[in-house]
Structure 1
């Protein structure tokens, strides 16, 4: 497997994981209407990205729906909604803040992979990959902006509440 194929697989797995993480956060924080609805929409974006990556990879003869690749394993966003047991169960505002942080880190990881793919596509003059990154990367950046905004809006109150 060459580097581009490895990156396509890694990005596909990252987008699938991010979709699952957004969905889990939406369900866990269903009472927070903005969180629930926006996270559900953003999960749809990541699922669409994964589908577009799989389609593009299939055109290169690569099946991305197989076993996930472990090349970039252990990066943020690979374990959605986990919390070390020795800390006990956090209060809902802290839980939400932690989940938003995890979402942000996973989206940032995907964003870096999109950027790597875009630079490679430019260097190799691969219009198919360049078109893919032009369609998908801006939405990943919007996912990051949303999580960043929510963290800024919620952190002071969540961290100062008893």
Structure 2
């Protein structure tokens, strides 16, 4: 498997993981309407990135389709909902939110680096389709990073100092 295929696979895995983490964080912080709604919207972008990556993977010998039931709601969704209800009664939901935002940010940063690597390699190899894909998806990943960073900046003072 060549480097381009490895990068496509890593990106697909990273975007799928970020989509799941965004939905899970939204469920855990259901009471914070901005987190709930924005995280779910951002997850849609990552799922779309996965779909588009799967479309271009074939020529690189990749089958990036989702395994059956991989993203289907079920027991894990019910568990997340119960956890969200329980967390509403815990004294440290703010710390959990900061932790979740940090993890989301780091996941988005990893994806951003892979998008940049893919764009650079696609440009060098004159792979127009991959360059267009990276040019289209990477700005959304950067927006995911800006949202998590902004939320961390805004929430850290109150949560960490107890104000």
Q: Which range, TM-score by smaller chain?
A: 0.7 to 0.9
What root-mean-square deviation, in Å, do the aligned CA atoms of Structure 1 and Structure 2 show? Answer: 1.6
User: Could you tell me how far apart the structure 2 residues matched to 1:20 and 1:90 are?
Assistant: 25
Partner of 1:133: 134
C-alpha distance after superposition, 1:30-52 (max 9, x if no partner): 00000000000000000000110
C-alpha distance after superposition, 1:86-111 (max 9, x if no partner): xxx87100000010000000000000
User: Could you tell me how far apart the structure 2 residues matched to 1:3 and 1:66 are?
Assistant: 22
Give the number of the structure whose residues are more often helix, by fraction: 2
TM-score, normalising length: structure 2: 0.82
Shift of 1:59: 4.3
User: Could you tell me how far apart the structure 2 residues matched to 1:98 and 1:110 are?
Assistant: 19
C-alpha distance after superposition, 1:52-77 (max 9, x if no partner): 0011112444212378xxxxxxxxxx
* Alignment of structure 1 residues 29-48 onto 2, 5 Å: 29-48=29-48
User: Could you tell me how far apart the structure 2 residues matched to 1:40 and 1:94 are?
Assistant: 20
User: Could you tell me how far apart the structure 1 residues matched to 2:151 and 2:158 are?
Assistant: 12
Aligned residues: 141
* Alignment of structure 1 residues 80-95 onto 2, 5 Å: 91-95=92-96
Partner of 1:117: 118
Q: Which runs of no fewer than 5 residues in structure 2 stay unpaired?
A: 68-89
